Amino acid sequence: MTSEPVPSSRVLVTGGAGYIGSHVLHALADAGIPAVTIDNLSTGRRQAVPASVPLVEGDVGSPALLDEVIREHGVDAVMHFAGSIVVPESVEKPLAYYRNNTVSSLTLLDACVRHGIDKLVFSSTAAVYGAPERVPIDEDAPTAPINPYGASKLMTEQMLRDAGAAHGLRSVILRYFNVAGADPAGRTGQATPVATHLIKVACQALLGQRPALSVFGTDYPTPDGTCIRDYIHVSDLADAHVLALLHLRRGGDSLILNCGYGRGASVREVVRTLESVSGETVPATLGPRRAGDPPQLVSAAARIRERLGWVPKHDSLEEIVRSALSWERRLDQERAGRDGA
């Protein structure tokens, strides 16, 4: 890194080489907003970061690295994505999740306070609601996470509220529902080595990268017996982050907002849509319910539209599935190219 000052303020994006972080970096670049990112590349891809964005390889849990990057790049705001996100893994390795998600977030918030940064957009999750009694779920619903992943995110939300009260750190907490799809321009997508998200797994099964899609539970109290989830296109989610940043830069107050479309699709609907888009059959096996899976998770999604003026551009299941399948085919081609090299 150089010691020359950067003339304009930048937003620090943690975890910018990952799935959602990289889409946000492209959205920021498209909006002409300068950024810098820190990523340890444990799950992220260097090539997912736009060429115009400086990538600092390192850990958000390092106070010295944060100090250096904040000073060198004139950081005035932070978007925090870095963290672990696999729910079953969080049950197996809870302390690793609290270390990577909660303790590293504490280090980051401490750096913000130390450097006088008063704007932070936080990547949270609908997992903070646990297994809600009522659907759709609004932002005032009780928070009762049922796994360490959700708990680790909720702890960071509490730290943000406390830091806001004590230090004036304003934040927009975005609680994601089921994020899916890929950049329509093909610049980035979900490339996590071990996939757990339904749409990505279904695409992999369709392309023969795994034997079959496992459908967990067909006897839920839903119209077709399978779980219902609120899927949101990752590019719409990225736009919401840009609007959240602009809200804070205009002096806006702290907000907690659901990120979803306010409607759900069942596992079987997702499979049918993928088969319709591709003209092929998704191999699937039917199994028993998975512990901890609520029948329905659907957002009440009015508040984000009202407070940020967010208008989704990709809110059809067909578009989400089509973009995800296109991205998986691209990854297939990349792998074939490497294997043939």
- Residue 59 · residue 104 · CB < 8 Å: yes
Question: Do 198-229+262-340 and 10-181+232-259 fall under one CATH topology?
Answer: no
Residue 136: is the preceding peptide bond cis (ω within 30°)?
yes
Phi then psi for 61, rounded to 5 degrees?
-80, 5
Predicted pLDDT at 1: 40
Predicted pLDDT at 193: 64
Domain regions of the chain by residue span: 10-181+232-259, 198-229+262-340
For the four alpha carbons of 309, 314, 317 and 320, in that order, the dihedral sign comes to negative
Predicted pLDDT at 340: 63
> For residue 277, how many other CB atoms are within 10 A of its CB?
20
Polymer length of the chain? 341
Per the DSSP assignment, residues forming a β-bridge with 265 are 229
- In whole angstroms, give the CA distance from residue 244 to residue 236: 12
Q: What is the DSSP letter of 140?
A: T
User: Which listed residue (149, 176, 220, 231) is catalytic?
Assistant: 149
- Residue 265 · residue 198 · CB < 8 Å: no
Residue for token digits 């995800």? 324
Type of residue at 110: D
**3-class state of residue 48 by DSSP:** helix
- In whole angstroms, give the CA distance from residue 336 to residue 222: 40
Predicted pLDDT at 334: 84
Q: Which fold has domain 10-181+232-259?
A: Rossmann fold (3.40.50)
- Residue 40 · residue 64 · CB < 8 Å: no
Nearest in space to 296 (alpha carbons), one of 221, 232, 229, 226: 229
**3-class state of residue 10 by DSSP:** strand
| Tokens, residue 241 | 């982050």
- In whole angstroms, give the CA distance from residue 150 to residue 229: 17
Nearest in space to 236 (alpha carbons), one of 273, 271, 262: 262
Phi then psi for 84, rounded to 5 degrees?
-100, 145
| Known catalytic residue at 97 | no
Rounded (5°) CA angle 7-75-80: 145
Beta-carbon contacts of 177 under 8 Å, excluding residues fewer than 6 positions away, are 126, 229, 230, 231, 232, 258, 259, 260, 297, 298, 299
Predicted pLDDT at 189: 96
Over residues 239-292, the pLDDT tens digits come to 999 999 999 999 999 999 999 999 999 999 999 999 999 999 999 999 999 877
Q: Mind listing the pLDDT tens digit of every residue in the chain (341 residues)?
A: 444 444 468 999 999 999 999 999 999 999 999 999 999 999 999 999 999 999 999 999 999 999 999 999 999 999 999 999 888 899 999 999 999 999 999 999 999 999 999 999 999 999 999 988 899 999 999 999 999 999 999 999 999 999 999 999 999 999 999 999 999 999 999 987 677 899 999 999 999 999 999 999 999 999 999 999 999 999 999 999 999 999 999 999 999 999 999 999 999 999 999 999 999 999 999 999 987 788 999 999 999 999 999 999 999 999 999 999 999 999 988 887 776 65
CATH entry 3.40.50.720 includes domain 198-229+262-340: no
Phi then psi for 133, rounded to 5 degrees?
-80, -30
Residue for token digits 């907002």? 257
